[in-house]
Chains A and B, each alone.
Chain A
Amino acid sequence: MRHEQRMVIADAVLSIVIIIVVLQLWLFTATMERYLAGDRAIIIPAALASICCFGLVFGLLFFYRRKRVR
């Protein structure tokens, strides 16, 4: 794969990862806000969503690493 093509993939992966991490930041602050307000029901679904986000990030990084090795 040409270097320019790899850079395009890197840009795409980076953009998606940034979006996911910003989403996680919002999720964490919103969860903390609700938890401090006494709403305990939200913390488990929020944690699961955060784990899914991390899984996506990890998957993207793994995918990118494999592409780079090839």
Chain B
Amino acid sequence: MKLNLVDEQAEWREQFPVNWTDDEYRSRRDFTRLLGLTSFAFVVGHLWIIGRNLTRRAKEKPPPLAIARADDVPVGGFKLFHYPTQNDPCVLVRLAQNDWVAFEQKCTHLSCPVIPQPQQGRFFCPCHEGVFDIATGEPISGPPRRPLVRVTVTAHTGQVYATGVEQGEV
């Protein structure tokens, strides 16, 4: 019985001969070509980033918006506002008499709203205990690796204005 199986296999091999060495050789070559295409795809990805950066630059700067009266926010206090659209929650913090900072309220980890804690000098994200520096927005501890998006502000004649979104995107 065993002998018959071998004979049948030999017959099958005669009818459909496969040169395994050549077959593997061809597969390897195709795989190398696929890697070449992958390499090209990475180049396209980089070009896409450049294109996206250029289109972002071309967009108009959002107009200034009065977000608070200076008297309404004490030193060490904060105020929530939306800028540049109603879908962009931000937080304004008064660090000193003439020292204002504002950031988007979205954590750069998973976009949870961060809570300003001026007394401890930090923004705190309760979702995963991420901590950001309140003056710079840089991540201090926890999962976030990117700084909070800064909103530029100026104080003028008793009013605080948001004048633009400075950097980054989440």
Q: Taking beta carbons and an 8 Å cutoff, which residues of A are in contact with B? A: 3, 6-7, 10, 13-14, 17-18, 20-21, 24-25, 27-28, 31-33, 35-38, 40, 43-44, 46-47, 50-51, 53-54, 57-58, 61, 64
Contact = CB atoms under 8 A, between A and B. Distances in A.
B16 interface: no
B159 interface: no
Interface of B: 21, 25, 28-29, 31-33, 35-36, 38-40, 42-43, 45-47, 49-50, 53, 108, 145-147, 149, 166-170
Contacts of A25: 42
B123 to A, nearest CB: 16
A50 B146 contact: no
Most buried by A among B25, B28, B46: B46
Contacts of A61: 32-33, 36
A36 B35 CA distance: 27
A35 B45 CA distance: 13
Contact of A51 (B25, B43, B145): B43
Contact of B28 (A10, A35, A40): A10
B50 A47 contact: yes
Interface residues of A, dominant DSSP: helix
21 contacts: A10-B25, A13-B32, A17-B39, A21-B38, A24-B43, A25-B42, A28-B42, A36-B170, A37-B168, A38-B149, A38-B168, A43-B46, A43-B53, A44-B50, A47-B46, A50-B46, A53-B42, A54-B40, A54-B42, A58-B36, A61-B36
A28 B39 contact: no
A14 B32 contact: yes
Contacts of B21: 3
A36 B42 contact: no
B49 A32 contact: yes
A7 B42 contact: no
A37 B146 contact: yes
6 closest Cβ contacts across the A-B interface?
Answer: A38-B168, A38-B167, A47-B46, A37-B146, A24-B42, A57-B39
